[in-house]
Structure 1
């Protein structure tokens, strides 16, 4: 299983990083984990085709995490996608995506829906697909965005992602024994709101038994401290092999 970082920046593109979007590929199945506004740019850079994405998983409804979906759908339409696409999100995903797409490109959403089939699934209990099982856990971020962390069990591999959140003990079971835990860390020493700081995270590391922990969604204060950090910080274009 390979994770390619199509974007790992925050909402302000701190450090010139693109918005959050991770590409997972395993056994010819392709997943986008979050799909921020710049996701299509990241896909172009890494040679990822919109027509070949099987699943899009959205942790919450902020533009830097789901704002790229209309562009992916439009690109798939133009490039004559035919196979179904499954979008998994917090409740209300279809309505929010339809509204955003209609706002950006009037009339396109209905054209997309009549060209290839989109299957919408909403968080709630274990979501079992043909390829993996997904568990979504509510976390602490802007409530209206319906924030969740996600845990993806795929064959004998587990990839978990905090989404955007303050520190919460809910991340312990999400990351438990994960092969890879992607943890947001927007601040260096500031305490909240809505995001984790490095100074908050370090004391929690002994409680996190994931095999590999990487940091994402770094703000300016974190970027100035990267050289001194004990955990790997993701960068756009980075590839992580999940063994």
Structure 2
């Protein structure tokens, strides 16, 4: 006898879709994903805590934070998030998945910003470090990492996250690299950084270059994100979907 298995539905909410400079008043990068069994953040830019509270999302309900690289608009919100998390007495432990050195970097930031306020060793936080081309598994998800082309010192990676039978892929910050083809393969949603419209810049994608490679991407749906002022000025010429703060999708 065959039984119908109900597919897991994911709700993705854009907490922040902006660049490092808050172009257009957009918040720094952060995407919130919720299922019936877990809540996670993909990146945690400096404005994340305010963005979560604007959307009524409680920090104590977040179980996983996945970080693509060590630039402040992608991980700089962790000190503020963890300060608030520490005072909420969360029921579930928090897992932070990142390139190597996240705990040390965040502790240094906490010591600079709020000296004497918080020691990470006193929190129920599990820091899991990944290398490029690695697969990391937790109770509720599988994260596959891809090296990308950005500022090397920030240890940049793209992430392919599988939750149940759903796949969300996110490029992080990068210029075009063939690894994006595999990253996007059959993804239910591919979130792709597209900083510029025409301007070509080392370490970032532009819309014209992305269009040239678009036929190679087999994702089911694509959202562009991380727009600077030039991209925002040309939104009327963009034919692809793009992320905006507060935008929500069911996957």
Q: TM-score, normalised by structure 1?
A: 0.96
Deviation at 1:82, TM superposition (A): 4.3
Q: Which aligned pairs between 1:127-166 and structure 2 lie closer than 5 A?
A: 127-166=136-175
Equivalent pair of 2:18/2:29 in contact (CA under 8 Å): yes
1:187 aligns with 2:196: yes
Deviation at 1:219, TM superposition (A): 0.6
1:220 aligns with 2:224: no
Structure 1 portions without partners, runs of 5+: none
Q: 1:55 matched to which residue of 2?
A: 64
CA distance in 2, matches of 1:82, 1:23: 19
Structure 1 segments of 4+ aligned residues over 4 angstroms from their partners = none
Deviation at 1:113, TM superposition (A): 3.4
CA distance in 2, matches of 1:189, 1:226: 12
Q: Which aligned pairs between 1:11-90 and structure 2 lie closer than 5 A?
A: 11-90=20-99
Equivalent pair of 1:226/1:233 in contact (CA under 8 Å): no
Structure 2 portions without partners, runs of 5+: 1-9
Equivalent pair of 1:167/1:200 in contact (CA under 8 Å): yes
Deviation at 1:83, TM superposition (A): 2.5
Deviation at 1:109, TM superposition (A): 2.8
Q: 2:211 matched to which residue of 1?
A: 202
Q: Please state whether the residue corresponding to 1:9 is helix, strand or coil.
A: coil
Equivalent pair of 2:37/2:140 in contact (CA under 8 Å): no
Task: Report the RMSD for the aligned CA atoms in angstroms.
Answer: 1.0
Q: 2:7 matched to which residue of 1?
A: none
Moved more, 65-74 or 120-129: 120-129
Which one of the candidate residues 13, 19, 43 is aligned to 1:10?
A: 19
Residue-by-residue CA offset, 1:7-29 (whole Å, 9 max, x unaligned): 01000000100000000011231
Q: 1:117 matched to which residue of 2?
A: 124
Deviation at 1:79, TM superposition (A): 2.3
Deviation at 1:228, TM superposition (A): 1.6
